[in-house]
Structure 1
Amino acid sequence: MTDSSRHSIAPASRPSIGLQLPSQLDLSELSSELKNSLPTGTLNDADVAYLQDASAFLMRLGRVLHAQGTSAMRLEEALGGCAARLGLRAQLFSTPTSLFIAVGDDRVAQTHMVRVEPGEVNLSRLVELDALIDSIGKGNVSLRQGFEHLDLVASAPHPYPAWLAPVAFGVSSAGAACFFRGNALDVAFSAALGLCLGALTLWMDRAAATRRIYPALASCLAAALALALGHYLPLSPSVITVSALIVLVPGLTLTVAMSELATAHLMSGTARFAAALVTFLQMGLGVGLGRELVQRLLGPTTLPARSAELPAVVEFVALAVTPLAFGVLFRARRRDIPLIALTSVLGFLGARAGAHLLGPELGAFAGAFVVAGISNWLARQLKRPASITLVPGIMLLVPGSIGFRSLNSFLERDVLTGTEGVFRMFLVAATLVGGLLMANAVLPPRREL
């Protein structure tokens, strides 16, 4: 698209749809300034009304996209592409808690700022929003219909029954225990604790106050129960603790933050990076408190002799099942689950092959390149967001468990091991981002989301 077409305000052939705008999106002042600043006859009443409607739609779309956990780079690209299709010139700025949109040209523009809360990833809604942006750009959907569709997407129910989310939480925890070479008891109790923490999530998400303390509370419960079980059963409390909390560990948040920093979205990346560190500290506080309580009540832990590890084939079973759980947790459509599983398995195998050739940390580069490359190819072929398979696929590679274990080392006063773990966490995150950027350069997805 040429620069002149992007900067045009509104094609004269596009009629106004005459929507009643909310007061916070009132562009009457902008319309007056535009009329006064441009040559006579440049904007007629239909153009001004179209500008109002299109700007309001862009703002509403930004809020809905942000609520689906969209990263700053993808959100700004999606809104910029939609604005260009609508004939608007827009400048966009997004952080995890705010959204700025300036509509207009260099002579006059009006900026809107919205305070938003960080959203959770909802892949099924992203598919609907991507299709809506395409339909708006092709003229198949009017702006009035676009507003109605946005309301439907924003209020769409969870694609799975509520009870399935805790089950997926438990399955993810069991899979993590398999990847961490746990024995049968480790896997069983990791699944049970994960199921309980997933059920607790449903209750604590109802209010902001309880939602804020959930990482620390869940970590305290997981660490206390795992250590208490370790007094009597031949299992590993550390494996059970990190496995039960694997969904809460902010490894994906850290990877997204590093990706935003690498693509010059500095404010958003810094804020997300700080949020990940705070979550790590909350979880470390919870683990330390839980362990201290158990040691005060039951005395020092003397772990019984552990039973034999599970056979290697169990890891492949976990590799086949865990992506299905991530698909449920990220609210993917049922029809996308097979592709999510395939992409995740290939990415994991790519990471293993890369680790064999380059080392365990740098092997993450190969895994991320495979996941992003497959996701981008599917996005081009199927004309839908690359995030559908990219986000669940990258979850098997993110370095959250490394950072969590480094916190455990610090709590046990093993500063050397803890420092090494922190360095490894950042190295893995950096190599993951490198693989994602390389895949985007070699095979661009041609989709904003």
Structure 2
Amino acid sequence: MDQLEFIQIRRFILKLGKMLHKYGSPSFRLEAYLIEIATHFGLHASFNSTPTTLSIVLWSDHHEEEYNHSARMQPGDLDMNSLSRTDELAYELLSGDISLAEANMRLDKINIMPSPYGKSLTGIAFGLSTSAFAMLMGAGWSEIIYSGLLGLMVYFWTLWAFSSKRMSLMLEPLASFSVGFVACAINHYSSSGFNIWLIILSSLIILVPGLSLTMGLAELSSRNMVSGTARIMDAIMQLFKLYFGAFLGVSLGYQLFGQQDLAIAVTLPVWVNWLGVLLLSIGLVAIFRTRIKHVPWAMTSTFIAYATSTWSSGYLENGLGAFVGAFALGVFANLFSRIVNAPSTIVAMHGLIVLVPGSKTYIGLNSFISGQDIIKTDHIGQETFLILMSLVAGLIFANVVMPTRKSL
């Protein structure tokens, strides 16, 4: 391998690795995928990925050419559209359909590609998803409506954070503070009372890091100790910031509007839960930037995860139904990868949203500090821990039964 060819290959691998990191790929999947790419080009490679760093070492057979690179990275956000297109491009390159130079040019175009759904649809998706989550939490109709409206307010804070670095550091506490304060104001002037903390949780659910907690445990189970620990600690800090902001907003609201009791919502029919799953699956399409051709698969994964976990919960106690849900979801996602030739992550993340216990962690934190229960639950800490373990175990078992076609 001559020096010019080595330079072209390592530039492509470096750019590919940074882009996949940017799209929120777990470290163990990202590293395995990049090793496959480097091996195809006849290079030896070593990669080390964490939520904030990416290190790459490449060398030829007899060490005629060597290269190492270490970059400080920002934690990635899920972008299934760019992830899918990047994987397609890499597949075309490895199949010989495009040249390395063309692949580099197309990577640059993908890297600056905006969301296919635009800001307006994404904002509607925020409101839709927060209302849908309120349905799954057993909220009443007024709480469902207010959760959606406050979810739109959270989206405006999120838009500001995208364009301001200072705002991005304050997003969680500022968004939760405003939601908590406005929820108190609405409850004070509303003719019928409602559960303030349930509305706050539903409105902030997009920011609650339950998915990061699950990904961190998955990385720890794959022996990626540094990345897994960093991701879990980052998720815990996000959770603390969210709760502190909400607690501060509610405390100020109580000072201005008076202490308000938590009202119990009227129990809605069971079909409302399924409506919530449908609306949540639709909202996640825009939030995760899922490609149109993958939307039916993504929405199906949400229903599979919810249906199997709900059904099995009737036979298994203490949240172990999440194991069955994660197992069914993992098998379906890997089957999708084999049929469509796309990363299983594209549909797996949609289903995991209805399984991850981020909301339960938030509920437990609120019960511990304020002494008030958002919803009536027993042994919330034990159930949260078991759900987390069940999710990781379910996905591992699924990979054994139905191996994925791709590392991503």
Answer whether TM exceeds 0.5 for this pair. yes
Aligned partner (choices 269, 275, 282) of residue 324 of structure 1: 282
> Within 2, Cα distance between the matches of 1:262 and 1:160?
35
Q: Which residue number in structure 2 is paired with residue 424 of structure 1?
A: 383
Aligned position for 2:405: 446
Match of 2:250 in 1: 291
User: What residue number does 1:110 align with?
Assistant: 67
The range that moved more, 240-249 or 425-434, is 425-434
Report if the CA contact (8 A) 1:62-1:79 is conserved: yes
| Residues 234-266 of structure 1: per-residue CA shift (max 9 Å, x gap) | 211121111111111000000000000000111
The one-letter amino acid of 1:346's match is: I
Contact 1:377 1:443 in 2 (8 A): yes
Deviates more, 1:231-240 or 1:192-201: 231-240
Residue equivalent to 2:91: 134
Matches within 5 A, 1:375-386: 375-386=333-344
Q: Deviations over 1:207-252 (max 9, x none)?
A: 1110111111111112222233333422111211111111110000
SS of the equivalent of 1:167 reads helix
CA distance in 1: counterparts of 2:348 and 2:11, whole angstroms: 30
TM-score by length of 2: 0.94
The 2-side partners of 1:423 and 1:307 are apart by 26
Q: Report how many residues are paired.
A: 402
CA distance in structure 1 between the aligned counterparts of 2:77 and 2:266, rounded to whole angstroms: 39
Tell me by how many angstroms 1:303 deviates.
Answer: 5.0
Q: Is the contact made by 2:184 and 2:257 (CA closer than 8 Å) also made in structure 1?
A: no
Residue 121 of structure 1 is aligned with which of 65, 72, 78?
78
Residue 147 of structure 1 deviates from its aligned partner by 0.6
Q: Over residues 349-407 of structure 1, what are the superposed CA-to-partner deviations in whole Å (9 max), with x where a residue is unaligned?
A: 01112211112511111111111110100110111111111111111111000011111
SS at match of 1:162: helix
What letter is aligned with 1:266? Answer: M
SS in structure 2 of the partner of residue 332 of structure 1: coil
CA distance in 2, matches of 1:251, 1:54: 37
Amino acid at match of 1:343: S
Task: Report the counterpart of residue 73 of structure 1 in structure 2.
Answer: 28
| Pair 1:207 & 2:164 matched | yes
2:37 partner letter: C
Q: Does 1:358 align with 2:296?
A: no
Q: Is the 8 A contact 1:409 1:418 kept in 2?
A: no
Q: Distance in 1 between matches of 2:377 and 2:278?
A: 32
Superimposed CA distance per residue, residues 4-54 of structure 1 (whole angstroms, 9 cap, x where no aligned partner): xxxxxx4xxxxxxxxxxxxxxxxxxxxxxxxxxxxxxxxxxxx22211211
1:411 offset after TM fit, Å? Answer: 2.2
Amino acid at match of 1:254: L
Q: Are the counterparts in 1 of residues 318 and 383 from structure 2 also a CA contact under 8 Å?
A: no
The structure with more radius of gyration: 1
The Cα of 1:307 is off from its aligned counterpart by 5.6
Q: 1:59 to 1:428 in 2, by over 3 A?
A: same
Q: 2:16 aligns with which of 41, 61, 65?
A: 61
- Name which of 237, 251, 257 aligns with 1:278: 237
Q: CA deviation at 1:344?
A: 0.8
Deviation at 1:106, TM superposition (A): 8.4
**Cα distance in structure 2, aligned partners of 1:418 and 1:314:** 20
The more displaced of 189-198 and 98-107 is 98-107
Q: 1:82 aligns with which of 37, 51, 56?
A: 37
**Letter of the aligned partner of 1:432 in structure 2?**
L
Counterpart AA for 1:100: S
Distance 1:282 1:383, change over 3 A: same
* C-alpha separation in 2, matches of 1:418 and 1:261: 29
Match of 1:37 in 2: none
Q: TM-score, normalization: structure 1?
A: 0.86
Corresponding letter in the other structure for 2:407: E
Alignment check: 8 A CA contact 1:406 1:422 kept: yes
Q: Contact between 1:68 and 1:121, CA under 8 Å: does it hold in 2?
A: yes
Match of 1:357, SS state, is coil
1:226 partnered with 2:183 = yes
Q: Evaluate the alpha carbon distance shift between residue 303 and residue 144 of structure 1 in structure 2; reply closer, same or farther with a 3 A threshold.
A: closer
Q: Which residue number corresponds to residue 435 of structure 1?
A: 394
Question: In structure 2, what is the equivalent of residue 164 of structure 1?
Answer: 121
2:233 is the alignment partner of 1:268: no
What secondary structure, in the 3-state scheme, does the structure 2 residue paired with 1:359 have? coil
Structure 1 residue 297, shift from structure 2 partner: 1.1
Contact 2:49 2:55 (8 Å CA) reproduced:
yes
Going from structure 1 to structure 2, the CA distance change for 1:418 and 1:206 (only over 3 Å counts) comes to: farther
Match of 1:152 in 2: 109
Of residues 357, 360, 365 in structure 2, which corresponds to 1:407? 365
Aligned mates of 1:318, 1:414 — CA distance in 2? 25
Q: What's the offset of the Cα at 1:418? A: 10
Gaps in structure 2 of 5+ consecutive residues? none
Cα RMSD for the two superposed structures: 1.9
Cα distance in 1, alignment partners of residues 198 and 38 from structure 2: 49
Asked whether the 8 Å contact 1:379–1:446 carries over to 2, the reply is yes
One-letter amino acid matched to 1:103: L
Identity %: 31
Aligned residue for 1:91, secondary structure, equals strand
1:30-80: CA deviation from partner (whole Å, max 9, x where unpaired):
xxxxxxxxxxxxxxxxx2221121111111111111111111011111111
Gaps of 5+ in 1: 1-9, 11-46
1:110, CA displacement in angstroms? 3.1
* Contact preservation (8 Å) 1:61, 1:150: yes
* Residue 127 (structure 1) shift: 1.0
User: Which of the residues 345, 351, 357 maps onto 2:303?
Assistant: 345
Q: 2:50 maps to what in 1? A: 95
